Structure 1
């Protein structure tokens, strides 16, 4: 009986321990995007502010086209203290905040169930998908005249215009999120005796929640974007109305002040939604 030749086993490199007393080297590699970018954002903001200050104070641009930061801050202070020849800032801000908040939460209460139904039923998808995809690319000013004709010029058309801008991204995000649960998770829940309703409650909806929260962030941004168009409808108070009224008199300093206030408020809402996202879906990005 012939002897078999011994099979050569691949050699495994033996790790060399660090020298006694020597420093242990650690990897300096960082995943792109890891860590905070707050310092970079602060530096970027400071550079832009200094550039704005230099361009306007050196006379390179006329104040009609771009007023100085001092002039914008002066208008902000006058509106904040109520000394401006207009309603105080808190009245404009309160009216706009009420309109955007009411329209946003109304969209959340209606669009999220519609999106969930679209993600689970082909009948719901066939009913709701065509009208949503039809009006979603349209700018709000395109159907603003119809809303005025149908609903008048009081608060309803303003809230409705913002509501429509928030509805589509929320519904589509909820629909996309309903497909986030893997088939293995669903089968595992069924094998453990879960009912259809329990699978939806404990498997599908938690998987869809991150997409729904992203849709809420996008929708609140669209709401503040549509605010100026909504307050064109015979409004006498509101941040958008303040900007439009100032533009009629070529008050660029008030226009820029209103734009900055709207941008800061919208950014604060986005930061709040990010914080809510970390509270409700702490597992996002870790699976």
Structure 2
């Protein structure tokens, strides 16, 4: 039987302590349950939302949000990875792209969302575009950094052994970049998920982010807690899947 890691036990204990504190503080009226609903209220709201919330079930809200998120994330991967790798190789390409990316990267999503709505309309296109921009920058930056950090001795050794440029790229450079690329992917999906609420603020009638915003407007803090917990758990699961994929594809990650 596989031994459970000490860190895993600590994490589980911390989560249990948080839930116990939540239960005790609401049961003893240490906090106003209108502001912080009890676990029982949140569970009831979860069961109700599974059936229906404003015309859609919780699963349908999640499906709409995941479709937006993964459409944007997929587009970001297939564009940011090659552009990032190319920028790492070419200072000219980097000089062209970096000013644009470094300008918009620190901007809050709502700062330019209005421009996207004006350009693309209020339907899914503007929402996916916002998520795409949020996902693009972390992947691009991690790819550029990965190429720049590749050990030049490894590249020169490959050339010495008679490898051509294609062989050097696919056998030395690309494998060396994969650990940093996966770090960028994890960061990207996290940033994209945190931007999801902003993406669903305008002219949406479904989605987990929209559900949280709508519940806030109606002071349904129990639904707000449901949405936050669901998004947190989903984010953890996505990160776990990417971690397992990294272990499968990049077994040398973290090793000398």
Could you state the TM-score of these two structures normalised by the residue count of structure 1? 0.86
- Displacement of 1:180 in angstroms is 3.3
SS at structure 1 position matched to 2:88: helix
1:270 is aligned to 2:239: yes
- Report whether the alignment pairs 1:203 with 2:164: no
Alignment partner of 2:148: what SS?
coil
**Within 5 A, what are the aligned runs for 1:164-243?**
164-243=133-212
* Count of matched residue pairs: 252
After the TM superposition, which parts of structure 1 deviate over 2 Å for at least 4 consecutive aligned residues?
A: 83-86
2-structure distance, mates of 1:192, 1:233: 58
Structure 2: distance between partners of 1:130 and 1:180: 21
Which protein has greater RCO, CA pairs closer than 8 Å, 6+ apart? Answer: 2
Instruction: State whether structure 2 residue 54 is matched by structure 1 residue 100.
Output: no
Q: Evaluate the alpha carbon distance shift between residue 84 and residue 109 of structure 1 in structure 2; reply closer, same or farther with a 3 A threshold.
A: closer
Counterpart in the other structure of 2:217: 248
2:47 to 71, 77, 80: 77
Q: 1:85 to 1:184 in 2, by over 3 A?
A: closer
Matched, 1:280 2:249: yes
Whether 1:55 aligns to 2:25 is yes
Q: Secondary structure at the match of 1:225?
A: helix
Aligned CA RMSD, in angstroms, stands at 1.1
The yes-or-no answer on 1:90 pairing with 2:59 is: yes
Q: Distance in 1 between matches of 2:245 and 2:157?
A: 29
* Partner secondary structure for residue 71 of structure 2: helix
Query: C-alpha separation between the residues in 2 aligned to 1:85 and 1:50?
Result: 31
Q: Aligned in 2, Cα 1:123/1:275: closer, same or farther, shift over 3 Å?
A: same
- Structure 1 portions without partners, runs of 5+: 1-34
Runs of 5+ consecutive residues of structure 2 not aligned to the other structure: none
Q: Which has the larger radius of gyration?
A: 1
Q: CA deviation at 1:114?
A: 1.0
CA–CA distance in structure 1, aligned partners of residues 64 and 238 of structure 2: 16
TM-score by structure 2 length? 0.96
- Change in CA separation of 1:233 and 1:192 when aligned onto 2, cut-off 3 Å: same
Counterparts of 2:38 and 2:14, CA distance in 1? 18
Alignment partners' CA distance in 2, 1:178 and 1:269: 26
Which of the pair is proportionally richer in helix?
Answer: 2
Asked if the contact 1:79–1:86 (Cα under 8 Å) also holds between the matched residues in 2, the reply is no
Structure 1 position 208, deviation (Å): 0.4
Is the CA contact 2:190–2:235 (under 8 Å) kept in the aligned structure 1?
A: yes
**Alpha-carbon displacement from aligned partner over 1:120-172 (angstroms, at most 9, x marks no partner):** 00111100010000000001011111111111101101101110000000000
- What are the superposed Cα offsets for residues 97-119 of structure 1, whole Å, 9 maximum, x if unpaired? 10001000100000111110110
- Contact 2:52–2:58 (CA under 8 A) maintained in structure 1: no
